[in-house]
Structure 1
Amino acid sequence: MSLAGKVVIVTGASSGIGAVTAEAFAKLGAKVALVGRNAENLKATEVSCKAANNKVELLPIIADVTVDAERIVKTAVDKFGKLDVLVNNAGAGASGHILDIDVDQFDRVMNTNVRSVFLLTKYAAPHLIKTQGSIVNVSSVAGLRSFPAVSVYCTSKAAIDQFTRCIALDLAPHKVRVNAVNPGVIVTEFHKRVGMSEEQYAEYLARCKETHALGRVGEAKEVADTIIFLASDKSSFITGATLPVDGGKHAMCPR
């Protein structure tokens, strides 16, 4: 996948898709800046990366993407001397009917899911131009389709999809590619963090067999593999794409 020696920033690397993606880059010989807020979880990702490749060069960065975007990019470039790939994975979820939610939810989700991606992209872009690198944004099927009681989250991911396309055009003359993945339901702790109980989550996963065309939910590795593809030269003629990794959920209209 031509990623050996490449310098990669992965935000939200302390769990879920981000952690598995960081491990995938490490296995392929990339130098990985692991960004997350939870030091203990980030340490666990560091351990898994080293297990995948004991010679990997890692840089854990304890940071909040909503306030530390400039520091994240600067720290990685100062350490490794360049930047080849930015994976904007960190994100926040939220649920609630429009009659019940307040503006604080809107501000929090948009700040994490959209504003931070804008800032990280802005600070990373000059370095990516030097290396003719790439950006992969982690969006969601919620950016492609509409669902009740998650209006703010859906709106934030739709914004990321459009941002991906626009920045792909801005950076195309500089040979920097910008793409997004749109996962369906993936087995992580995401839904529990949004507020589902264990019982509710189990019922939800069972229901997902009907709402995903392939009859199952996805695994984080399946998203990570797609991110790796979009970050590598294997996708050298792809930019401005929003690629569903969702078992066909985006193509369905389940009732």
Structure 2
Amino acid sequence: MPSSTHQHFSDHVAIVTGAGSGIGRATTVALAEAGARVLGVGRRREALEETARVHPNIATLPLDLRGEDAAGEVVAAAVERWGRIDLLVNNAGALALMPLAETDASVIGDLFQVNVTAPSLLAHAALPHLKRSSGSIVNVSSTYGHRPLAGGAHYAATKSALEQLTRSWALELAAEGVRVNAVAPGPTETNVMAAAGLPEEVIREVRTSERERIPAGRIGLPEDVADWILRIADPRGAHLTGQVLTVDGGLELS
């Protein structure tokens, strides 16, 4: 359960993408437990339904954010159900490990479509409602948005782009009362590598290597990241905008 510092989302409406698992599910549940009404968005209907069963404040919308006017559909679904939007959490993302020698234009295009274009279009579609509610946007980046990732340069580039969007939107929208921040998780116990098609043996090797390099001595949990998303989105933090908070157990220090 969220701590008492998170009890300020009552009657607020949030949209969380990638809500079927991992950080998205943990964030959706935490917001619902903190009093928000949450629209969880994702591609996998059954996974979303599993998320929704955790709390009655959660509604779901199975949808591919790469689809035509997907952003409009998401925003319309939230507004038609609850009449407002206070928070957009751009969590859905794609991962691809692709060395330069294996560069593929379609992989680059898909990474940018999911990690940069989709969050941009969602923010655009939600903006009129966020202005009315003095709401906020939280983008989910990665520690590799601001540190190099050998063999995954294009993934890192999309997250770097998302962090620059965060800062630029924050500057652009501050006078209109809309806050924009980001959380940058380090290695976290999610299914993102399996979803990227990496074999189980490779995933185990990567996890072991990551764990050895994290000063805190463990891989992060989705709840670790969700907790900070709620803290950054807390309506009481009206003076916090344009920030990228790294939640990686100290990995970026090593």
Q: What residue number does 1:185 align with? A: 187
| Cα distance in structure 2, aligned partners of 1:203 and 1:186 | 14
- Deviation digits for residues 99-138 of structure 1, max 9, x if unmatched? 2121000100000000001100011111000000111000
SS of residue matched to 1:10: strand
Q: What residue number does 2:16 align with? A: 10
Following superposition, the deviation at residue 204 of structure 1 comes to: 2.0
- Deviation digits for residues 74-118 of structure 1, max 9, x if unmatched? 111111000000000011010111121210001000000000011
Q: How many residues align?
A: 246
Q: What residue number does 2:118 align with? A: 116
Q: What residue number does 2:62 align with? A: 62
Following superposition, the deviation at residue 4 of structure 1 comes to: 1.0
Q: Say whether the 8 Å CA contact 1:208–1:215 is kept in structure 2.
A: no
Which residues of structure 1 form unaligned runs of 5+? 51-55
Q: Say whether the 8 Å CA contact 2:166–2:181 is kept in structure 1.
A: yes
Q: What residue number does 1:223 align with? A: 225
SS of residue matched to 1:9: strand
Q: What residue number does 1:151 align with? A: 153
Q: What residue number does 1:141 align with? A: 143
Give me the TM-score of the superposition, normalised by structure 2: 0.94
| Cα distance in structure 2, aligned partners of 1:196 and 1:102 | 17
Q: What residue number does 2:32 align with? A: 26
| Structure 2 residue identity aligned to 1:73 | V
Q: Say whether the 8 Å CA contact 2:148–2:156 is kept in structure 1.
A: yes
Give me the TM-score of the superposition, normalised by structure 1: 0.93
How big is the alpha-carbon RMSD for the aligned residues of Structure 1 and Structure 2?
1.1
Following superposition, the deviation at residue 234 of structure 1 comes to: 4.1
Q: What residue number does 1:53 align with? A: none
Q: Say whether the 8 Å CA contact 2:28–2:58 is kept in structure 1.
A: no
Following superposition, the deviation at residue 58 of structure 1 comes to: 2.8
Following superposition, the deviation at residue 190 of structure 1 comes to: 0.8
Q: Say whether the 8 Å CA contact 1:34–1:58 is kept in structure 2.
A: yes
| Cα distance in structure 1, aligned partners of 2:171 and 2:180 | 8
Q: What residue number does 2:166 align with? A: 164
Q: Say whether the 8 Å CA contact 1:36–1:64 is kept in structure 2.
A: yes
| Cα distance in structure 2, aligned partners of 1:181 and 1:222 | 11
| Cα distance in structure 2, aligned partners of 1:190 and 1:144 | 19
Following superposition, the deviation at residue 178 of structure 1 comes to: 0.4
| Structure 2 residue identity aligned to 1:61 | L
Deviates more, 1:226-235 or 1:200-209: 200-209
Pairs within 5 Å for 1:214-253: 214-252=216-254
| Cα distance in structure 2, aligned partners of 1:75 and 1:84 | 14
SS of residue matched to 1:99: helix
| Structure 2 residue identity aligned to 1:237 | H
Q: Say whether the 8 Å CA contact 1:69–1:119 is kept in structure 2.
A: yes
SS of residue matched to 1:86: strand
SS of residue matched to 2:101: coil
Segments of 4+ in structure 1 off by > 6 A? none
Which residues of structure 2 form unaligned runs of 5+? 1-5
- Deviation digits for residues 170-207 of structure 1, max 9, x if unmatched? 11001111000000000011112223322222222222
